[in-house]
Homo-oligomer: A and B are copies of this chain.
Amino acid sequence: MTHHVAILGASGYTGAELIRLISGHPNLAISAIAGERKAGLELADTFPHLRHLDMPRLCHIDDVDFASLDLCFCALPHKTSQKIIVNLPHNLKVIDLSADFRLTDLAEYRKWYGDQHVAEKLQGEAVYGLTEFYRADISSARLVAGTGCNAAIGQYALRPLISTSAIDLENIILDLKCGVSGAGRSLAEYLLHAEVSEGCGAYSVGGTHRHLGEFDQEFSRIAGRSVHVQFTPHLIPANRGILATAYVWGDANVIHNILVKHYREEPFIHVLPMGETPSTHHVRGSNFVHIGVIADRLKDRTIIVAVLDNLTKGSSGQALQNANLMLGEVETQGLMMAPLFP
């Protein structure tokens, strides 16, 4: 049985990644791809790497026939997304890849994003899209909010530990190394090749990155108390991939055991043998997460290193995994392709 889907915001990187992934899915068909600035163009004009696909032209959102759809992916910019989604048919399944529906607390949303939300009611309805931890809710959801890519990798590294006493919740440091595609196809000086290549810098330092809103919401929810981590992202000269180095206070073997046990049945999450470390090279273009646990020379200090591809498992791959759940497909359908290396 074929499910018909549309992609709104198809001229950005997460939109293109959705098309790439869905093109390998046997039971999903793309009925419409919308991109306001590029409406009327062939897909190949904006993404020549998808030239081989038989796709409709890019259209205006208003021209999408939503009644014929089984599900709609929204890969629109933050703040634009909520304005569109609030007006979609209320029975249409929607997966939003923006930040607009990740935070359920209205005050937290305003704190991190600075604006009144235009779809507050939907905020409460939306399910947080970290598949492995909200599987049942996602399966029956109408609206799923894709997670931040940084928030995803940090949670994969730490979530199973938060509700245990294995680590000290007062002292969690997340140091991230992020590829540039996480910032999207934006025309900004700091994203130019000449400014990125061959160097590294920190950004949103000091606890100002918006994905902290997700960490606070999720970790506090699990712990049943307020948990605030330190989180510092760094931009590295790579297109895809995030490597999270988590510094925690706790015993490495205990931590490794918890993670191994927790993720044992997960098809996409691989906990490496004790002491091994992953690389973003090894998940590029795939939906996999690799997690390593290493004991520091200092007693009761453990380093957890986790990697994912921000465009796949960190956004569009996650979205397709959730779509599979929402549409009654096998969860891994279209997502088991091997990473591209080198």
**Which residues of A come within 8 Å of B, CB atoms?**
13, 16, 19-20, 23-24, 47-53, 171, 173, 175, 177, 179-181, 185, 187-189, 191-203, 205-208, 212, 228, 230, 232, 234, 236-241, 243, 245, 247, 270, 275, 277-286, 288, 290, 292, 294-298, 301, 303, 305, 336-342
Contact = CB atoms under 8 A, between A and B. Distances in A.
Nearest to A270: B51
A197 B199 CA distance: 12
B199 A284 contact: yes
16 contacts: A23-B337, A49-B281, A51-B270, A175-B175, A177-B234, A198-B239, A200-B243, A200-B280, A200-B281, A201-B277, A202-B243, A202-B277, A232-B245, A236-B237, A237-B238, A285-B340
Given A196-B197, A202-B305, A240-B342, 5 more contacts: A20-B340, A187-B187, A191-B194, A193-B197, A202-B292
Best-buried of A175, A239, A339, A342 by chain B (most CB within 10 Å): A342
Nearest to A199: B281
B185 A187 contact: no
Nearest to A53: B338
Given A181-B342, A206-B303, A340-B20, A298 B198 contact: no
A54 to B, nearest CB: 12
A156 to B, nearest CB: 15
A120 to B, nearest CB: 25
A128 to B, nearest CB: 22
A177 B270 CA distance: 24
A280 B49 CA distance: 9
B201 A13 contact: no
Contact of A52 (B20, B49, B243, B288): B288
A119 B236 CA distance: 41
B16 A341 contact: yes
A281 B240 CA distance: 14
Contacts of A236: 177, 200, 236-238
Contact of A194 (B181, B277, B337): B181
A81 B96 CA distance: 47
A140 to B, nearest CB: 28
Contacts of A290: 48, 51
B234 A247 contact: no
A244 to B, nearest CB: 10
Nearest to A312: B340
A19 B175 CA distance: 33
Contacts of A52: 270, 288, 336, 338
Contacts of A192: 180, 185, 187, 191-193
